[in-house]
């Protein structure tokens, strides 16, 4: 196996992020629930994308890129954090975002305005069109550029979460279960592969917050990341259990997700977000209710961030959206 340390990586995050017990929720559920604070990765408003960007932007720099492109929805946390990281590294970020969703100057749009980020909206959901637009703008600008896919979820980005699994292994506690949100797949794939390598006896559960075919995307990304590490572990569906927590749609609040956001805010003073982590925590509550966790199990919830989007989404779920 090629070591993680042999990949170019730029230190962007304040790592390791803390792990602590959610005392009140643990009491409520009668189970040992811990949280990994990747909302505190330290750049921008924190979040999971920082770990991926450490590998992706190192690759961009190594290739001599001066401009970094990425994409996502109008309120993409990933896009905002890419702009924050690029700025810190003296690179120019150009965000080619889908027009769909909240494009007002609130949430991540506001943060991009504050950073002076070059944001372009395109009226398409087709990634082929979006990447073609990046090439068009890149050529127009006439400087070397690098394209980061939606969510930073390619094999190289996923290495950020393979490294996170290794980090968790070094933090002293054994976890029987890890729960994370799955939106573009890199976090789940990285953690699930990383658990196979560094966390024996840990099952990573992906809580799907979008409707993409994650049963195909997750193992494919795990295999591609494994290939980068020059290993070929056997990967079966037991390695990446998935649960549909999307509700009425991607980036549309769900009742269960909002209830989880409120519960964790009220009992623990920690803010989840309605698009990713609230829905993922609702999945944790469902698993607990179904008896998936033994009383002696240690369960780790990955708080993957999302604070930027928290201020751009309606918490009321309109009845016609349910
Ligand atoms: C992007 C994102 C996720 C999902 O991670 P993926 O690697 O895209 O599946 C989860 N939580 C937050 C807050 C995010 O911004």
| Residue 206 CA, distance from chain mean position | 11
What mean pLDDT, rounded, does the chain reach? 96
CB 248 within 8 A of CB 238: no
Asked if residue 190 has its Cβ within 6 Å of ligand 1, the reply is no
Distance CA 152, CA 160 (A): 10
Asked if residue 306 has its Cβ within 6 Å of ligand 1, the reply is yes
Q: What is the pLDDT of residues 35-53, one digit of tens each?
A: 999 999 999 999 999 999 9
Residue nearest to atom 3 of ligand 1 (CA): 183
**Distances in Å between the alpha carbon of 249 and those of 84, 201, 243, 245, 246?**
28, 33, 14, 9, 6
Sheet of 298-303, strand order = 19-21, 32-37, 298-303, 177-182, 203-208, 242-244
pLDDT at 93 over 60: yes
Asked if residue 214 has its Cβ within 6 Å of ligand 1, the reply is no
Angle in degrees, 0-180, between the axes of helices 277-289 and 255-268, rounded to the nearest 10 = 90
pLDDT at 318 over 50: no
- Bridge-based pairing state of the strands 32-37 and 19-21: antiparallel
**Residue 184 bears catalytic tag:** no
* Cα(140) to centroid(ligand 1), Å: 31
CB 74 within 8 A of CB 104: no
The greatest distance separating any two alpha carbons of the chain, rounded to the nearest whole angstrom, comes to 60
Q: Annotated catalytic residue: which of 76, 153, 254, 304? A: 76
Indicate the pLDDT class of residue 12, thresholds 50, 70 and 90: very high
* Cα(142) to centroid(ligand 1), Å: 32
Sheet of 92-98, strand order = 118-122, 92-98, 67-72, 145-147
319: left (phi over 0), alpha (psi -120 to 50) or beta: alpha
Atom of ligand 1 nearest to the CA of 151: 8
pLDDT of residue 102: 83
Asked if residue 77 has its Cβ within 6 Å of ligand 1, the reply is yes
Indicate the pLDDT class of residue 322, thresholds 50, 70 and 90: very low
Q: Find the helix or strand (DSSP H, E) in which 50 lies.
A: helix 49-62
Q: What is the pLDDT of residues 137-173, one digit of tens each?
A: 999 999 999 999 999 999 999 999 999 999 999 999 9
Mutation to probe ligand 1, out of 305, 309, 310, 312 (largest number of atoms < 8 A from CB) = 305
Q: What is the pLDDT of residues 238-256, one digit of tens each?
A: 999 999 999 999 999 999 9
CB 100 within 8 A of CB 73: yes
CA angle 66, 71, 76 (to 5 degrees): 115
pLDDT at 201 over 80: yes
């Amino acid at each position: 196996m090629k070591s993680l340390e042999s990949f170019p990586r730029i230190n962007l995050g304040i790592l390791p992020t803390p792990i602590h017990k959610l005392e009140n929720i643990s009491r409520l559920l009668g189970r040992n629930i811990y949280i990994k604070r990747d909302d505190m990765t330290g750049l921008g408003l924190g979040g999971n994308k920082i770990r991926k960007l450490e590998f992706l932007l190192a690759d961009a720099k190594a290739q001599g890129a001066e401009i970094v492109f990425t994409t996502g929805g109008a309120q993409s946390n990933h896009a905002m954090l890419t702009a924050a990281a690029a700025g810190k590294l003296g690179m120019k970020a150009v965000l080619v975002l889908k027009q769909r969703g909240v494009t007002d100057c609130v949430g991540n749009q506001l943060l991009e305005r504050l950073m002076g980020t070059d944001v372009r909206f395109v009226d398409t959901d087709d990634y082929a069109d979006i990447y073609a637009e990046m090439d068009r703008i890149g050529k127009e600008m006439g400087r070397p550029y690098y394209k980061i896919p939606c969510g930073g979820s390619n094999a190289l980005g996923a290495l950020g979460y393979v490294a996170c699994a290794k980090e968790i292994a070094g933090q002293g506690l054994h976890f029987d279960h890890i729960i994370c949100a799955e939106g573009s797949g890199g976090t789940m794939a990285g953690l699930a592969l990383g658990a196979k390598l560094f966390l024996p006896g840990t099952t990573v559960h992906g809580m799907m917050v979008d409707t993409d075919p994650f049963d195909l995307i997750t193992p494919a990304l795990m295999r591609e990341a494994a290939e980068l590490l020059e290993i070929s572990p056997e990967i079966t569906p037991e390695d990446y259990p998935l649960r549909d927590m999307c509700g009425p749609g991607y980036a549309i609040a769900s009742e269960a997700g909002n209830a989880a956001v409120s519960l964790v805010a009220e009992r623990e003073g920690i803010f989840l977000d309605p698009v990713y982590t609230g829905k993922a925590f609702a999945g944790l509550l469902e698993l607990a209710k179904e008896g998936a966790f033994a009383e002696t199990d240690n369960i780790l919830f990955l708080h993957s961030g999302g604070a930027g989007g928290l201020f751009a989404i309606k918490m009321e779920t309109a009845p016609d959206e349910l």
